[in-house]
Structure 1
Amino acid sequence: MIKRILFLLVLIFLISQFLRPTKNEASYDSIATFEAATIVSAEVKTILQNQCYDCHSNVTRYPWYMEVSPISHWMAYHIKEGKEHFNVSEWESYTDKQKNHKLEEFVEEIEKKAMPLESYTWMHGKLPDSDAEKLINWAKQTSDAITKGKEEPQEKVTDSLPVKVSDSTVVDSI
């Protein structure tokens, strides 16, 4: 009986290797758009690339163990969940209010040390406190810039030359 159960488990494991989840592989352009819009420094960019983008963008760097089921399904679930909460690749689709809310949650999760997930840190290491502080400062500055842009709309630049009223007469069409 135990041999049959073991055989069945091995068979299920082997079959599951052929049933892979869809990979999260898109163009890096969406991330570049986010980085340009939020004015990310090189230092913060590196932290985001190493700690955040794999689960919070449409671009994931897959480690070797992602090729093994059921780990691949478990990680695909985490990536899907991460993107539902905050997806930098969708940054341009958020309203200013949503952007500020996402950044507030971003800061809150880092301050609570809830991000990155503990399961992520097993292989990638914990987020050092100094890096966490840099991310928090960047997120707060970005949020302030969004709020400031909302409260103080940029003035339209108009031509400063005076308008000359001509003495021409309008002729009715014939």
Structure 2
Amino acid sequence: MVKKILLALLAVLFVIQLIRPEKNVSDSVSVNDISVKYAVPDDVHQILKKACTDCHSNNTVYPWYANIQPVAWYLDDHIQDGKKHFDMSEFLAYEPWRAHHKLEELEEEVEENKMPLDEYVRIHEEANLTSVERIKLLNWSRGIRAEMAADSTLDLTRPERKK
């Protein structure tokens, strides 16, 4: 009986290896990428690359274990959730008020040490931001928000929610 259960479990584990989520990897920079309109200095780019882009862009660098199910499903869900909250690759597609608000949320998460997530930093130690890196990231975000606020063509007013 135990042998049949183990064989069935092994068969299920084999079959689920064939069901893979699509990889979050793009060959080029999106036309809606934040860097298309707003400057990203090299030092900030390095900070974003090491701590943010895996979950908040179209360019995830996958570890070896991302090829094993059900881990790949978990990572895919995590990436999709991260992009739902803030997607640097699709930043220019946001309505201006939403883009401005997304940057406010980024700042709040970084200031409160909620980003990058602890579970991500446990596996990617290099993603643990120093206080200097946090300040650089915050100043960059605040600079973009100031640039947006100074642009008279952008309406940063959040529309009223329908009840």
Name the TM tier (shorter chain): 0.7 to 0.9
- 1:171 corresponds in structure 2 to none
Contact 1:21 1:73 in 2 (8 A): yes
Contact 1:17 1:68 in 2 (8 A): yes
**Structure 1 unaligned regions, length at least 5:** 153-174
Report how many residues are paired: 152
| Superposed displacement of residue 151, structure 1 | 7.8
Q: 1:128 to 1:32 in 2, by over 3 A?
A: farther
Change (3 A) 1:103 1:62: same
Give the aligned residue type for 1:95.
E
Higher relative contact order (Cα pairs below 8 Å, separated by 6+ residues): 2
Q: Which amino acid aligns with 1:37?
A: K
Describe how 1:25-104 pairs up with structure 2 within 5 A: 25-30=25-30, 33-104=33-104
> Larger C-alpha radius of gyration, 1 or 2?
1
Bigger shift: 27-36 or 77-86?
27-36
1:99-110 aligned at under 5 Å gives the runs 99-110=99-110
Q: Deviations over 1:74-133 (max 9, x none)?
A: 000001101111111111212221111000010111122221122211221222222122
- Say which SS state the counterpart of residue 30 (structure 1) adopts: coil
- Give the aligned partner of residue 113 of structure 2: 113
Q: Which residue of 134, 137, 143 maps to 2:136? A: 134
Paired letter, 2:136: K
Q: Secondary structure at the match of 2:27?
A: coil
Unpaired runs of 5+ residues, structure 2, are 155-163
Look up the SS of the partner of 1:130 in the other structure: helix
Aligned-CA RMSD value: 2.0
Q: Segments of 4+ in structure 1 off by > 6 A?
A: none
Q: Percent identity?
A: 36
Q: Is the 8 A contact 2:100 2:148 kept in 1?
A: yes
CA distance in 2, matches of 1:32, 1:93: 6
Q: Distance in 2 between matches of 1:3 and 1:117?
A: 41
Instruction: Name the aligned partner's letter for residue 113 of structure 1.
Output: N
Kept after mapping to 1: 8 A contact 2:32/2:90: no
